[in-house]
Amino acid sequence: MRIRLRRGYGGQVADCGLQQGQGSISDKIEMSANTECPLFIPVILGTARQGRQSENVAHFVFEQTKKRGDVETELIDVRELPMRLDNHGYPGLLKHALDMNLKEYIHKAVGICGVSAGPFGGARVIEGLLPVMRELGLVTIYEDVNFAKVGTLFDEHGKFLDQSYVRRVDKFLNELTWMARVLRHGRKNIPDNQEAM
């Protein structure tokens, strides 16, 4: 698996403007969803722990994301990044991955999936990551997916057993892609506050 990190403000590689029209921002975004360039939404596997069960979850979320025609995706595994040894409540390699592209995060949407062997599905890690995401300039969505008791969610071959998560991940991805479109529209059409100062 190769690591792909897009360069440049906005992560854009082509002119993918919204179509001109009338109505609210939501109408413009909805209208143009089929005519603009796909959103790039990477799935980041944020732990390098041995025997990690989050790998199955990452593959499941990645496969669900790939099914969307309006989204380009890639699975990024932090194990493939150079090692960094610090940990502040979430894996140090995830922090390193986040620190690598700081300017690219401003006004971008982000959603978080938590994974745990226990009943809370990584809720504490999500709680710890939210202020970090804000500090990086990312805009967090209100939907999270908590994969609790992850050892019971997959068989020994990594096949997903609990189909209720398909609906949860779909709701999560709907919110993430909506927010990403709104923010893309804003980045292209509304002057940055920092530039005016």
Report pLDDT for 90.
65
Integer CA distances (angstroms), 97 to 1, 7, 83, 154, in order: 16, 14, 10, 27
The predicted pLDDT at position 149 comes to 93
User: Is 185 in contact with 16 (CB distance < 8 Å)?
Assistant: no
pLDDT over 70 for what percent of the chain?
A: 73
pLDDT grade for 196, boundaries at 50, 70 and 90: low
Give alpha helix (H) positions in 136-190: 164-189
DSSP state of 150: G
- Could you tell me if 92 and 128 are in contact, meaning their C-beta atoms sit under 8 angstroms apart? no
List for the chain the helix, strand, coil content (%; round to 5). 45, 10, 45
pLDDT band at 89 (very low <50, low <70, confident <90, very high): low
**Span 71-89, average pLDDT:** 70
Most confident of 6-10, 104-108, 172-176: 172-176
Secondary structure element (H or E) that encloses residue 72, with its range: strand 71-72
What's the pLDDT tens digit per position in 27-77?
434 434 444 788 999 999 888 888 888 999 999 999 999 999 999 999 988
Task: Specify whether domain 37-189 bears CATH 3.40.50.360.
Answer: yes
Query: Phi, psi (5° rounding) for residue 106?
Result: -60, 125
Specify the pTM: 0.70
| Closest-CA residue to 173 (of 76, 17, 66, 26) | 66
Domain ranges of the chain: 37-189
Of 11-15, 106-110, 116-120, 153-157, which range is least confident? Answer: 11-15
- Cα separation, 80 vs 96, whole angstroms: 11
Residue located via tokens 């700081």: 102
Q: Which helix (H) or strand (E) holds 77?
A: strand 75-77
The lowest-confidence range among 7-11, 39-43, 75-79, 116-120 is: 7-11
pLDDT tens readout for residues 142-178: 999 999 999 999 998 989 999 999 999 999 999 999 9
| Cα angle 11, 172, 86; round to 5 | 65
